[in-house]
Amino acid sequence: MKRDLVLFLLLAAIWQLWSGHAETLILVFGLLSCLIVTLMARRMDRTDGSFVDWMLAARSLLYVPWLLLEIVKSNLQVAGVILNPRLAIRPRLVRVKGSQKTELGQVIYANSITLTPGTITLDVRDGEFLVHALTEEAAAGVESGNMDRRVTALEGRR
Amino acid sequence: MTMAIEIASWFLLVSGSIFCVIGGIGLHRMPDFYTRTHAASITDTLGAGQVLVGLMLQEGLTLVTVKLIMVGVLLFLTSPTAAHALVKAAAAHGVRFDGAPGGVSEAADERAGDD
């Protein structure tokens, strides 16, 4: 199948780039590994989305820098909380609705929440996200829905 | 120019290390399992991220830098996934929100109950 062939060639190219060796033994190992991984990927069912979504990759060029900035900001906040002798935390659970339509979009949103310190996704069910927040500020950040909108925009129309 | 890169690189390496230590301090100071994961995510993101970028600046545009970027990408995909799996498992086994000054346990207990 075309998809398997693309995956195999991609894996082979990455192997060569990472190893930088051209001895026969290493090459055979590489080809065997790529073949095994391709077969395993074939046996796993990928139900959601296409193999490589180039438009999504292009849109993520806008999303990723924004996310990195958010991560830096919330890192500084949580670091401040940790170093504050009063340890002013107010842990709480918040439930937020996610507006993503695909599983991939939900995974990106859940992982983005978890990646920003101060908030962590406990559970995703029926498009509802259960989030553990360390402080009021972090909880308010998730509830504002700013990240949710950006992830949905990243997801695009299908 | 090389001097500037050297300074930026070492600033990132030192600053990243400091954030790793802050994450460690947080692990000790936080009252329960869930709040500790927030501290650990500092080490995963800004700590590791700054160290990686610092090392990239040391290397310049080489294959090593490409590999470092891939390490960063891998880390940013796996660490939230692992953190999510950890807290979900903890909630499913009824690990409590101990020592939280806000008092938040009901929702989690109820949630943990039906899993």
Q: Give the pLDDT confidence score for residue A45 in this predicted structure.
A: 65
Q: Which domain holds residue B24?
A: 2-113
The pair phi, psi for residue A128, each rounded to 5°, is: -110, 135
Judged against a pLDDT cut of 60, whether residue A50 lies above it is answered with: no
State the DSSP code for A135. S
List residues in chain A touching B: CB distance below 8 A: 17-18, 20, 71-72, 75, 78-79, 82-83, 87, 89-93, 110-112, 114-123, 130, 132, 134
Provide mean pLDDT across the span B95-105.
Answer: 53
**Integer-rounded Cα radius of gyration of chain B:** 18
Using pLDDT thresholds of 50, 70 and 90, give the confidence band for residue B112.
very low
Contact A122 B88 (CB under 8 A): yes
pLDDT tens profile A52-64: 677 888 899 999 9
Residue B62 pLDDT: 87
- List of chain B residues whose C-beta atoms are within 8 Å of the C-beta of residue A90: 100-102
Residues of chain A contacting B41 with CB distance shorter than 8 Å = 78, 114-117, 120
The rounded Cα B32 to chain-centroid distance in angstroms is 17
Given a contact cutoff of 8 angstroms between Cβ atoms, the answer to whether B79 and A116 are in contact is no
Nearest CB neighbour to A79, from listed B19, B79, B88: B19
CB–CB contact B104 A72 (8 Å): no
So what's the pLDDT on residue B111? Answer: 47
The backbone torsions φ and ψ at residue A52, rounded to the nearest 5 degrees and listed phi first, read -130, 120
Confidence of residue B32 (pLDDT cuts 50, 70, 90): confident
- Confidence band (pLDDT; 50, 70, 90) for B46? very high
Residue in the block written with tokens 């065997």: A32
Tally of domains within chain B: 1
pLDDT tens by residue, A6-45: 889 999 998 888 887 888 999 999 999 999 998 888 888 6
Where is pLDDT greater, at A116 or A20? A116
Find the CB nearest A134 among B22, B38, B88.
Answer: B38
Average pLDDT score over residue span B42-56:
93
Percent of chain A whose predicted confidence (pLDDT) is above 70: 94
The edge-to-edge listing of strands for the beta sheet with A128-133 is: A92-97, A128-133, A119-125
DSSP string of A118-150, one letter each residue: TEEEEEEETTEEEEEESSHHHHHHHHT-HHHHH
**Least CB–CB distance from B38: residue in A71, A120, A121:** A120
- What's residue A158's pLDDT? 56
Give A38→chain B minimum CA distance, Å. Answer: 19
